[in-house]
Amino acid sequence: MAAHIPKLLSIAGSDPSGGAGVQGDLKTFSALGCYGMAAVTALTAQNTRGVRLVHAVPAFVVAAQIDAIFADIEVDAVKIGMLAEPAIAEAVADSLARVGATRIVFDPVLASTSGDSLSAAGLIAAAVARVFPLAALVTPNLPEAAALLGAREATAPAQMVEQARALIGRGARAVLMKGGHLTGEPLDILVEGEAIHEFHGRRIPTNNLHGTGCALSSAIAAHLARGAELVAAIRAAKAYLEDALVAADALALGSGRGPPHHLHSLWRG
């Protein structure tokens, strides 16, 4: 009897340069031995130097994509990224609640790595109210956490814990605060109930950081789909991303910020 292949759905925007969004998610799923599917929330015109245009997909079309997948295919985990508009956040939440989706990882993408906005007015309130309660894990970086709370950006671990608890107070079940914006070595902190887990990393000397948040959240979802517990899934995902960043410069993609090398372990030469 053939082994079960985990199947994951990415609900996110499209990045035509292939480094982030659904394209980055699908590469990450494949690299970790999972079958990837995608419901596209927005079309963007972007490259390694920045975002030129964002065109949101109508909310009913996003919902139809999700409904079509769940009507036919077993979904072991879901990664949610860019939602773009409040109506899309609400449609995604309605669809996932209706089908009883589990193992949902929500990466609250509000801006690109280059700093370009990827969210419309009202998205934060809709995402917090509707998507937070469905997610097994929310994975904001420090600027995103500050925006979600209407607070100043955390600059120390104690503040990261405080903001994670505030996000849990707003409906999240568990929060992974990504500390890549801290000075010094990066530190991520998971707050789940009363438990606090720290994940120390090393800063990789590369400019190719486009889509790192997408890759990390997708890798966590993939490991959850494979049966890992949350802490183990985060630890394995961080190891994957670190290796992908070490190999990133080999891609030599574009003149701006390229992506991590999602498929570093599979390519030869």
Q: What is the pLDDT of residue 184?
A: 84
Q: What is the pLDDT of residue 174?
A: 98
Measured distance CA(233)–CA(219) in Å, rounded: 8
Residue pair 266/34 in contact (Cβ under 8 Å)? The answer is: no
Label residue 200 left, alpha or beta by phi (over 0 means left) and psi (-120 to 50 means alpha): beta
Encode pLDDT of 153-203 as tens digits.
Answer: 999 999 999 999 999 999 999 999 999 888 888 899 999 999 999 999 999
* pLDDT tier, 31 (very low <50, low <70, confident <90, very high otherwise): very high
Proportion of the chain in helix, strand, coil states, percent, rounded to 5: 40, 20, 40
Per-residue pLDDT, averaged over 195-220, amounts to 95
Of 60-74, 103-117, 212-226, least confident by mean pLDDT is: 103-117
Integer angstrom CA distances of residue 129 from 133, 163, 168, 169, 262:
7, 17, 12, 11, 32
The mean pLDDT of the chain is 94
Does residue 115 surpass a pLDDT of 80?
no
Does residue 116 surpass a pLDDT of 70?
no
* pLDDT tier, 112 (very low <50, low <70, confident <90, very high otherwise): low
Encode pLDDT of 36-57 as tens digits.
Answer: 999 999 999 999 999 999 999 9
Rounded to two decimals, the pTM is: 0.96
Strand 195-200 with 187-192, pairing = antiparallel
Does residue 113 surpass a pLDDT of 70?
no
Residue pair 102/131 in contact (Cβ under 8 Å)? The answer is: no
Residue pair 48/254 in contact (Cβ under 8 Å)? The answer is: yes
Per-residue pLDDT, averaged over 249-262, amounts to 95
- Going by C-alpha positions, the residue among 108, 106, 135, 110 that lies closest to residue 121 is 110
Provide the strand spans (E) within the chain. 7-14, 35-47, 50-56, 77-80, 104-106, 137-138, 174-177, 187-192, 195-200
Does residue 96 surpass a pLDDT of 90?
yes
Q: What is the pLDDT of residue 218?
A: 98
Does residue 131 surpass a pLDDT of 60?
yes
Does residue 77 surpass a pLDDT of 90?
yes
Integer angstrom CA distances of residue 165 from 62, 101, 107, 216:
31, 24, 17, 21
The structural architecture, per CATH, of the domain 7-139+204-251 is 3-Layer(aba) Sandwich (3.40)
Q: Output DSSP code: residue 200.
A: E
The first and second tokens of residue 240, run together, are: 């994957």
* pLDDT tier, 27 (very low <50, low <70, confident <90, very high otherwise): very high
Does residue 269 surpass a pLDDT of 80?
no
CA 201 remoteness from chain centre:
18
Q: What is the pLDDT of residue 3?
A: 80
| Placement of tokens 């009202």 in the chain | 122
Q: Would you call 187 helix, strand, or coil by DSSP?
A: strand
